[in-house]
């Protein structure tokens, strides 16, 4: 509660329990097992899930995610299995926004997605024009270089560190909810899903449909794929 002046509330965590499992019971942010293209994802609905004390062991979402009138977002990357008493001690990356961007999107991420940047099946442009907002971040631990070195060097020309991007559209109109710590730049969309989380059962490729997209393909280092992405509001 001391980070960037304190006052932050943990509202959600995205945890990948099986990096090779696709649209399984452990991927509620992406699908809920067996769901089809006509679905409502956790990013857009008012379902709640999990416990705050287990936010590094399982997916988590509380009512503040969709009921808050917040201004900014903070993200922590916490290694899987970390007890709640050790979150601050073991966290890998912390960064937050300061632009009050949520006030332009209903005050929370549920409204950002449901009202402005749906994750449901649709026809999207793949030139970046249908991407959601990319919000500049302030680093509380580490810096842009830390994010950069966690990915393959061959892919770094398609991203720019120092942002959180929402709803990314990949070259096959596959979409992901959040690209933590960076934004996709330019019109090159090949493998951009490797940088983002919160994919969907509406993906044209079922092997991409899980909470952590294609990170298991080796594009991201294990530090990221084996850590929960915790979302805070203020």
**What pLDDT does 199 receive?**
72
How many independent structural domains does the chain possess? Answer: 1
**What pLDDT does 188 receive?**
66
Can you say how many angstroms the Cα of residue 43 is from the centroid of all Cα atoms in its chain? 10
Pairing of strands 93-96, 159-161: unpaired
**What pLDDT does 145 receive?**
64
For residue 132, the 8-state DSSP code is -
Closest-CA residue to 209 (of 30, 37, 42, 26): 30
Q: Is the pTM of this model over 0.95?
A: no
Q: d(Cα 37, Cα 66) in Å, to the nearest integer?
A: 22
- Going residue by residue through the chain, which has 234 residues, state the pLDDT in tens, using 9 for 90 and above: 788 899 999 999 998 776 666 666 667 787 654 444 444 578 988 999 999 999 999 999 999 999 999 999 999 999 999 999 999 999 988 999 999 999 999 999 999 999 999 887 667 888 888 899 999 999 998 766 665 555 555 566 777 888 999 998 877 777 888 989 888 887 666 666 677 888 765 544 555 556 776 565 555 667 778 899 999 999
**What pLDDT does 1 receive?**
72
Contact between 10 and 52 under an 8 Å Cβ cutoff? The reply is yes
Q: d(Cα 153, Cα 173) in Å, to the nearest integer?
A: 24
Q: d(Cα 32, Cα 51) in Å, to the nearest integer?
A: 18
Residue 51 CB neighbour total at 10 angstroms = 11
Q: d(Cα 97, Cα 71) in Å, to the nearest integer?
A: 9
Q: d(Cα 60, Cα 25) in Å, to the nearest integer?
A: 14
**What pLDDT does 18 receive?**
67
**What pLDDT does 74 receive?**
97
Length of the chain equals: 234
Q: d(Cα 178, Cα 155) in Å, to the nearest integer?
A: 18
Structural domain containing residue 173: 3-233
**What pLDDT does 212 receive?**
76
**What pLDDT does 34 receive?**
41
Closest-CA residue to 76 (of 66, 68, 86, 67): 86
Q: d(Cα 139, Cα 137) in Å, to the nearest integer?
A: 6
For residue 31, the 8-state DSSP code is T
Strand boundaries in the chain, DSSP class E: 9-14, 60-61, 73-79, 93-96, 134-136, 138-139, 159-161, 163-169, 175-179, 182-184, 197-199, 227-233
Pairing of strands 93-96, 73-79: antiparallel
């Amino acid at each position: 509660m001391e980070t960037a002046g304190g006052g932050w509330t943990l509202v959600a965590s995205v945890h990948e329990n099986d990096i090779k499992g696709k649209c399984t019971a452990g991927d509620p942010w992406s699908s809920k097992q067996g769901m089809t293209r006509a679905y409502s994802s956790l990013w857009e609905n008012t379902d709640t899930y999990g416990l705050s004390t287990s936010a590094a062991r399982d997916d988590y979402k509380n009512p503040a995610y969709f009921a808050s009138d917040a201004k900014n977002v903070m993200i922590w990357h916490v290694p899987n299995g970390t007890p709640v008493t050790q979150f601050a001690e073991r966290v890998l990356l912390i960064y937050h926004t300061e632009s009050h961007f949520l006030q332009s999107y209903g005050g929370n991420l549920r409204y950002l997605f449901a009202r402005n940047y749906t994750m449901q099946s649709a026809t999207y442009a793949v030139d970046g024009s249908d991407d959601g907002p990319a919000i500049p971040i302030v680093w509380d631990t580490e810096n842009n270089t830390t994010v950069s070195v966690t990915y393959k060097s061959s892919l770094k020309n398609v991203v720019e560190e120092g942002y959180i991007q929402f709803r990314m559209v990949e070259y096959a109109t596959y979409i992901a909810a959040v690209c933590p710590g960076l934004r996709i730049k330019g019109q090159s969309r090949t493998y951009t899903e490797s940088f983002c989380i919160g994919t969907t059962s509406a993906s044209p490729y079922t092997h991409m449909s899980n909470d952590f997209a294609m990170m298991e393909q080796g594009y991201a280092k294990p530090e990221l794929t084996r850590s929960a992405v915790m979302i805070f509001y203020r």
